[in-house]
Amino acid sequence: MALAALVPGALLGWVVYEAVGGGAGGGSDRTAAVATPAGTASPSASVGDDGKQPSAAPASASLKGKVVVIDPGHNQDNFQHTTEINRKVDIGTNKKECDTTGTSTNAGYTEARFTLDVAHRLRTLLQKQGATVKLTRDGDHPAWGPCVDQRARIGNEAHADAAISIHADGSAAGNRGFHVILPGSVHAGAADTRKIVGPSHDLGTRLAGTFLRDTGEPPSNYLGGGTGLVTRTDLGGLNLSTVPKVFIECGNMRDSKDAALLTSGAWRQKAAQGISEGIVSFLRRS
């Protein structure tokens, strides 16, 4: 993906400091951004590749009335529908392909499989907190896509309180780490992100902190200046959103160290936990 803008590197210190608990007791909004939400399962809980956790006391339904839309990137069958996914759609600033095939590890584990697995785990965690959760695709329908404009529309029509698009990158070996993509300010054509830039930044910053803490995955060493945060204005899924939304690239599938994590069911559960806690923190903000 082409880089539109980098978030100032000064944020790295806060993200790392708060994620490891350095801000405990400070009482600020920044400390709250990475505080473990009450009733959330411990990231160290034993899990299997099916994403199931041992039975535990029910979490409080503190997110009742909140709607979260999860967008698992790409689709396993996109490669069989090249004509459909290569069709250009309007993203406000210009036109881009409906969707892409996504990437994969060198061993053939696809990004589409990864994103759907994490999405299912994340849905379970958020539903335990009482949230209503909708997915843009759920593994059986449609056979390809949806297109990026449709993915944004699903979140908009659900009046989501938060939306997250889950991905994994396909950069060069040696490039590793996660990054959260924030929407830049866009006002062109059908796109107008001006009202969601602020809350999306809040969501993304919280998410970066909890993801780092729960997974141990470092911020990207090749994008974002070490902050784990990147701002872009060329993604239809963000440009066309009217609700707070971010993307997360959970790691680089082409790097052997990251690939070992991304293909682990236990690590994918930690990834879902980290994403969940960031969303919960955002939705519980005062």
For 142-187, write each residue's pLDDT tens digit: 689 999 999 999 999 999 999 999 999 999 999 999 999 999 999 9
Mean pLDDT, residues 66-71 = 98
**CATH node for 5-22+60-283:** 3.40.630.40
What's the CA gap between 127 and 15, in Å, rounded? 27
What's the CA gap between 231 and 200, in Å, rounded? 11
pLDDT digits (tens, 9 = 90+) for 105-139: 999 999 999 999 999 999 999 999 999 999 999 97
Domain residue limits, the chain: 5-22+60-283
Mean of the per-residue pLDDT values for the chain?
A: 84
Mean pLDDT, residues 205-210 = 98
249 in active site: yes
pLDDT digits (tens, 9 = 90+) for 192-201: 999 999 999 9
Place of tokens 């009742």: 64
Q: Which residues contact 57 (CB under 8 A, 6 or more apart)?
A: none
Quickly state the pLDDT bin for 60 (edges 50, 70, 90): low
Identify the H or E element spanning 181: strand 179-183
Catalytic residue among 18, 111, 217, 249: 249
* Cα torsion 118, 43, 204, 103: sign: negative
Mean pLDDT, residues 237-265 = 98
Q: Report percent pLDDT > 70 for the chain.
A: 78
pLDDT digits (tens, 9 = 90+) for 85-102: 999 999 999 999 999 999
- End-to-end, the C-alpha distance of the chain in Å comes to 34
